[in-house]
Amino acid sequence: MIWVLLILAAIIALPPLIEWNRHRMDDSARGTAPGQFVRLSKGVTHFNWHGPADGPVCVCVHGLTTPSFVWGGLTPGLVERGYRVLTYDLYGRGYSDRPRAPQDRAFFLDQLRELLAHLGVEGDITLIGYSMGGAISTAFSAEHPDRVNRLVLLAPAGMGLARGKLMRFIIDTPLIGDWLMLALFPRMHRKGVRAERDLPTAVPDVTLLQAKETEYQGFTPAVLASLRGLLSKTLESEHVKLQSAGLPVLAIWGGADRVIPAAAIGTLAEWNSKAAHEVLEGAGHGLTYTHSGEILEILRRYGV
């Protein structure tokens, strides 16, 4: 009987132990990182400027699992148009810190507001949000419509996500869900990105970089915290506010996206009838780097 208990205890302890022994995101891990760092109220944030210092500012907010390198296919085109592009890593991803906190609306908006304040960026910015970054950008724009001149959403969250039964159980079940997330998600994530390794991409080695995120302590808990936090809410009131404020909104969707359900297009159209929509047929959720050229062409047509 004692052996059964010991084996059970070892099984229970293994996922937290593996997580504890993952690489820390510290100064040694940041040694070769491009860009700059700033310590904000909840920790260090990694950011990078691209383009002319006197250009109009375009801020890009990435999604749930892929940090700021996701913008590698779009930033050169935006810079060619004269933009000064700001990319940064959300807490829990990339080269930014991994604070243990609920990753709700306030968590992400505080990071963005504090970063813009540190950099002296004020009004009249173009804001581009991808996936969860679309939800962050929507919430920011609804709170500060005077600071944003245009909102661009790429496969945006905020209208609901496509989730399997296992992930719903993990999200809805404290403790057991946390253990399952540590035990299962890193392998699930690596398997998912490996399945896309043959897709065309404007970001070299993007799937290798995505898989590497699981090697760092705090990444998996951050994903779960976001699923339980910001991504557990819909943003109907925010989109209604954007329509009332008259803020131009352009949403670009992947026609083959398995993460953001197709119904999200109609939902956003109901909430904000003035929003413009474009669908890239055949594009999945990684459209930011698989269809960079097409996205840049759409942005050109809309004057971005």
pLDDT of 161: 78
Of the chain, the percentage scoring pLDDT greater than 70 comes to: 99
The whole-chain average pLDDT of the chain stands at 95
Confidence at 262, pLDDT banded by 50, 70, 90: confident
pLDDT of 8: 75
Q: Are 260 and 157 in contact (CB under 8 A)?
A: yes
Give the H/E segment covering residue 188: helix 176-194
pLDDT digits (tens, 9 = 90+) for 177-219: 999 999 999 999 999 999 999 999 999 999 999 999 999 999 9
Confidence at 146, pLDDT banded by 50, 70, 90: very high
Of the chain, the percentage scoring pLDDT greater than 90 comes to: 90
pTM: 0.96
CB neighbour list of residue 146: distance below 8 Å, 6 or more residues apart: 123
pLDDT of 89: 98
Confidence at 162, pLDDT banded by 50, 70, 90: confident
pLDDT digits (tens, 9 = 90+) for 263-287: 899 999 999 999 999 999 999 999 9
Residue 93 predicted with pLDDT over 80: yes
Confidence at 290, pLDDT banded by 50, 70, 90: very high
239: tokens are 């989109």
DSSP 104-138: SHHHHHHHHHHHHHHHT--S-EEEEEETHHHHHHH
How far apart CA 218 and CA 240 sit, in angstroms, is 35
In the block, which residue shows the tokens 């909104």?
A: 249
pLDDT of 147: 95
Nearest Cα to Cα of residue 239 among 155, 162, 134 = 134
pLDDT of 160: 82
Residue 11 predicted with pLDDT over 80: no
How far apart CA 214 and CA 210 sit, in angstroms, is 8
Q: CB atoms < 10 A from the CB of 249, how many?
A: 22
How far apart CA 276 and CA 192 sit, in angstroms, is 31
Instruction: Describe the chain by its helix, strand, coil percentages, rounded to 5.
Output: 45, 15, 35
Confidence at 5, pLDDT banded by 50, 70, 90: confident
Mean pLDDT across 50-77:
97
